[in-house]
């Protein structure tokens, strides 16, 4: 018998703690067949969950927006997340918790009210949305005007979801063109977000981030709090591609890596092709906040 490698990750499904490699959902689960699922991702850094309550609150809001209902209370979910990370022993982890519509109670039924909604959670070693060398040099983003972000009145981007059709098409275009990642515009030509991150621009010392068509990222929120604490004005507003191309600096925000310098969009180069000064300060502050006991909760290993 092979030894279980818990450090590869652990999952909680139907009351059991199992290795992540053994966690799976049935092929008839609507989470799989219809992307009828919501989820959230919090990180563990140096053995502590960062801002766990913010993530749990966003998840509860997503459940409500998607009309999903699971047995677990917020306390139950918190306990499960602690259990999986403790079981894995990981001190730096990517921790995903999910609610799926589940399987129809009567086979073949097509009424979303008649499905067995269920909760599960899993963790793996910390996932960087951008590799560390790309973060150091600055991210190069591709904007493909032919692939727009799905309309927010069709799929609500504020309920974290698996509808990645637009992102995946745009990611292929970005990778084919030699870029690190993609950033999608909405139908009006305003910036929205990328697969797994929000976007900010800085112009004349003022920070701007798109107001609509985006997930309200927890890291976006933390970045805005850091700006406020440092007297930097933030405006949550429409940001056109043209405005972005005039920016002094750009950065992305994500649980998978924090505040990330962006140095190129298509053939436009920002801040001398290196991480911008304000961005670098915000990034340092973000990591310093991880030492603030008010922001973190130690995993019960």
The contact set with ligand PLP (CB under 6 A) reads 41, 160, 193, 196-198, 215, 217-220, 253-255
- Cβ 55 to ligand PLP shortest distance, Å: 7
Minimal distance in Å, beta carbon 174 to ligand PLP?
15
Hey, what are 185's tokens? 């515009």
Which residue's CB comes closest to ligand PLP? 217
Q: Which is nearer to ligand PLP, 197 or 200 (CB)?
A: 197
Nearer to ligand PLP, 103 or 198 (CB): 198
Count of beta carbons in the 10 Å neighbourhood of residue 1: 3
Name the residue among 79, 63, 133 with its Cα closest to residue 275. 133
Q: Quote the least distance from Cβ 4 to ligand PLP, whole Å.
A: 28
Report the residue number, 118 or 220, with the smaller CB distance to ligand PLP.
220
Cβ at position 116, least distance to ligand PLP in Å: 26
CB 260, CB 196: distance < 8 Å = no
63's tokens: 């459940």
Class of residue 263 by CB neighbours under 10 A (exposed 0-12, middle 13-18, buried 19+): buried
CB of 71 to ligand PLP, least distance (A): 25
Beta carbon nearer to ligand PLP, 121 or 218: 218
| Residue 6 token pair | 């818990």
Q: What's the token pair of residue 219? A: 């890291």
Residue 47 or 256: the one with the smaller Cβ distance to ligand PLP is 256
CB of 114 to ligand PLP, least distance (A): 29
Q: Which is nearer to ligand PLP, 254 or 271 (CB)?
A: 254
CB of 37 to ligand PLP, least distance (A): 13
Nearer to ligand PLP, 18 or 141 (CB): 141
């Amino acid at each position: 018998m092979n030894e279980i490698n818990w450090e590869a990750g652990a999952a909680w499904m139907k009351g059991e703690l199992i290795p992540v490699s053994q966690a799976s959902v049935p092929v008839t689960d609507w989470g799989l067949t219809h992307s009828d699922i919501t989820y959230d991702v919090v990180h563990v850094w140096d053995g502590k969950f960062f801002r766990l309550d913010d993530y749990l609150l966003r998840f509860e809001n997503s459940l409500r927006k998607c009309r999903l209902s699971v047995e677990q209370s917020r306390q139950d979910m918190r306990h499960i997340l602690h259990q999986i990370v403790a079981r894995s022993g990981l001190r730096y982890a990517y921790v995903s918790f999910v609610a799926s519509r589940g399987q129809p109670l009567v086979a073949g039924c097509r009424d979303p009210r008649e499905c067995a909604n269920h909760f599960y959670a899993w963790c793996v070693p910390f996932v960087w949305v951008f590799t560390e060398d790309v973060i150091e040099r600055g991210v190069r983003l591709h904007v493909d005007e032919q692939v727009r972000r799905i309309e927010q009145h069709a799929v609500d981007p504020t309920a974290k979801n698996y509808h990645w059709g637009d992102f995946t098409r745009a990611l292929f275009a970005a990778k084919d063109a030699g870029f690190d990642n993609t950033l999608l515009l909405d139908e009006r030509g305003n910036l929205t977000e990328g697969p797994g991150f929000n976007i900010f621009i800085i112009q004349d010392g003022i920070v701007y981030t798109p107001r609509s068509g985006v997930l309200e990222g927890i890291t976006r929120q933390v970045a805005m709090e850091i700006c406020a604490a440092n007297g930097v004005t933030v405006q949550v507003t429409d940001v056109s591609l043209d405005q972005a191309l005039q920016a002094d600096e750009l950065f992305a925000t994500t649980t998978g890596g924090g505040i990330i310098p962006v140095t190129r969009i298509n053939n436009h180069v920002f801040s001398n092709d290196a991480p911008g000064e304000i961005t670098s300060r915000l990034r340092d502050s973000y990591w310093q906040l991880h030492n603030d006991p008010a922001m973190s909760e130690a995993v019960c290993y």
